[in-house]
Amino acid sequence: MAGTDYDSFAHFYELEYQNYSVDLDFYRQFALRCGSPILELACGTGRLLVSLARAGYSVTGLDLSPAMLALARQKLAAEEPAVRDRVRLIEADMRHFALDERYTLAFCAINSFMHLLTQADQVRALRCVQAHLQENGLLILDLFNPDLYLALGGSGQVTYDGDFSDPAHGTKVHKFVVSWVDRPRQIHHMTFLYDEVAADGTVHRTTAAIRQRYLYRYEAELLLERCGFVTEHVYGTYDLDEYSGDSFKMLIVARKAG
């Protein structure tokens, strides 16, 4: 799980997700409950941590990708000094990091925990974050519901996944995805194709491949219990609807045990 795996498409990730806001209120609710300081694992380009810092919370963002963190720093540079002062960015692996702070809340957004491809790696990450939480601190894992994951993904065909503009380069970007599922290993293989179309019609394609390991609900709960957590609730939406087999998301809220 090298940081450079995500460096190649960090620019496109930022363009695609910079205005993604459906989960903002969800994390603000838990930030209000827990207070500062907050830890975001796999913070990417800083979309969520900047929003929380604007709301007055102190946030540490941890990511393995130098390119993602560079974009987060650019984003922070445009903020007021008070907002910048509330944010700490760390280049580190969520499986083994050591920080001099203990957090009231930690979270790993939009499937980022699924970049851990083995149970051993998942355990390392969970134990590491558990050691960095205050007593009764919370951990939130935002995962894809595997029931829908298997139904919707893994056809092996090229599918169109939308488009977005790149104002800096004056191009239109069309995104395509090719995916397949290794069911015995619970690994979802995805290749992203980003076609940049210039004003003169010239097309430049960037290809990036990633893998994600999906988890089932009780598998995830057992992992959390093994690593010193008690599951408080499992939600199916950012509006806190109950999780079911038809839910698009599997949002697990766990508390540090003991």
Strands 158-166 and 133-144: unpaired
- Cβ-count burial of 94 within 10 angstroms (0-12 exposed, 13-18 middle, 19+ buried)? buried
Cα of 17 vs its chain's centroid, Å: 11
Which pLDDT belongs to residue 154? 60
Same domain, 26 and 40: yes
Same domain, 75 and 180: no
Same domain, 46 and 114: yes
Q: For residue 183, which of 158, 228, 214 has the smallest C-alpha distance?
A: 214
Provide the CATH number for the domain around residue 155.
Answer: 2.20.25
Provide the CATH number for the domain around residue 38.
Answer: 3.40.50.150
Which pLDDT belongs to residue 156? 77
Same domain, 94 and 118: yes
Same domain, 33 and 66: yes
Same domain, 140 and 225: yes
Same domain, 206 and 132: no
- Containing structural domain, residue 178: 148-213
- The single residue listed with the structure tokens 């509330």 is 86
Question: Are 107 and 23 within 8 A, CB to CB?
Answer: no
What single-letter amino acid sits at 129? V
Same domain, 223 and 204: no
Number of domain units in the chain? 2
Six-digit token pair at 238?
A: 């950012």
Three-state DSSP class for residue 236 = coil
Report CA-CA distances (Å) from 136 to 52, 132, 153: 21, 11, 37
Six-digit token pair at 225?
A: 């219990």
Q: For residue 132, which of 206, 41, 211, 44 has the smallest C-alpha distance?
A: 41
Which pLDDT belongs to residue 2? 41
Same domain, 33 and 61: yes
CA distance 32 to 30: 5
Same domain, 242 and 166: no
Same domain, 160 and 198: yes
CA angle 242, 16, 118 (to 5 degrees): 60
Question: Are 136 and 64 within 8 A, CB to CB?
Answer: no
pLDDT along the chain (258 residues), means of 10: 68 91 97 98 96 98 96 96 97 96 97 96 98 98 84 74 89 93 90 93 93 95 98 97 93 95
CA distance 124 to 45: 24
Same domain, 157 and 123: no
